[in-house]
Amino acid sequence: TEAKLTDNKYNFFLYQDTWKAGNNFDDDSKSHLICVAENICKNFDHFDEYAHIASIDNGASEALFSKLEIELYSGRVSDIYVELLVSALEMVHRCPGTFINVAVKSAGSERVLQLPCKLIDKYVHFPNPQYHAHAPTIISIVIKLFLHFTKSSNIKLKMAADKDIILSMVYVIKSDMEDWVKIEAINLLAELSYSKDLKDSNIVVIHTEGLLDALVECANSYNADIKEGIARTFLNLGTNIENRKFLACKDGTINILLSFLSEENSKNTKNYAIGALGNICACEENKVRLVNYEEGDLVKKLLFLISSERNKKFHKDVVGVLANLSNADIA
């Protein structure tokens, strides 16, 4: 392990010295920086935990974020160079949560959380960004970097309370990006919407402007992974008691969750959806409204599922939702 730490330190600072030689912003120096970034990506592209820890210890996160910041605010942004820098950052942060804390502290939490948002804002608002040579890949890698950050409960709490991060994901979901990019954004939202240690962390998430509407609209996709991710997001949002009434007030949310219960959807999507409905129905203030929803349509669909569903766990969950609704005061 010590040999890995020493080799990694030597290699990284060798690149650092080479990087310093290319600080001018003419075409030759930018080509030089791109070559250096390519070499760094080759060095970091692995899943050796010890080597990634060594990179964090040796200041890789701070150096890469500094380079990214310089490039983003330069007058001539190179999309190739930006893609390589965010790729290297994603690779470096394939480390345990403890070292995510170290990396974020060394690079500065504000910079670490806001620079990726600025990148997403830049590339998602290009005309026809799905056809941009680098925009989809850059956005996808940035979101993967954010997902690495959620391995630290402290950083995850900060992210869940950061409206800029949530709004960035809303932009991605509402954009014309390919489904594989949207799936990454939805998975991040699902992750930020729940934490067993941080029960109030998803209040900011649900109240971010346009979030629920974007999820409902995107849920009409034919992509099974998108549906599963959205169902999981609604389930996680509903773990917070304060959120349940808000979810019930959105007709689109209930419609989507009911549609997710149909036979053609995956097992996970159905389980997440019935769990989300269970959370919403557990709120006393929601029960009458849900019993009367669409003239009893919700109850009818649940009764049908009881008679037709063979999966024992799912059957039990459906019965649980109906049991919750059975004591509604509809007088």
Listed residue (232, 300, 241) closest to 270, CA to CA: 232
Q: Tell the residue number behind the tokens 């290297």, with chain if given.
A: 88
Q: What is the mean pLDDT of each run of 10 residues along the chain (331 residues)?
A: 41 48 52 86 88 86 93 90 95 93 93 96 85 92 97 92 95 95 97 72 75 94 96 93 86 91 92 94 87 86 84 87 76 49
Residue 167 has a pLDDT of 95
Question: With contact defined as beta carbons under 8 Å apart, do 137 and 83 qualify?
Answer: yes
Residue ranges with strand state E in the chain = none
Q: Which stretch of DSSP H or E encloses residue 106?
A: helix 97-107
Q: Which stretch of DSSP H or E encloses residue 105?
A: helix 97-107
Question: With contact defined as beta carbons under 8 Å apart, do 53 and 12 qualify?
Answer: no
Residue 93 has a pLDDT of 94
CA dist 257 to 10, 273, 278, 317, Å? 53, 5, 11, 14
Q: Tell the residue number behind the tokens 């609604």, with chain if given.
A: 234
Question: With contact defined as beta carbons under 8 Å apart, do 25 and 81 qualify?
Answer: no
Question: With contact defined as beta carbons under 8 Å apart, do 260 and 270 qualify?
Answer: yes
Between vectors from CA 241 to CA 239 and to CA 245, what angle results, nearest 5°?
Answer: 110
pTM, 2 dp:
0.87
Residue 71 has a pLDDT of 93
Residue 312 has a pLDDT of 83
**Cα within 13 Å of Cα(229), Cβ side:** 25
- Other Cβ atoms closer than 10 A to 126: 14
- Other Cβ atoms closer than 10 A to 112: 24
Residue 28 has a pLDDT of 57
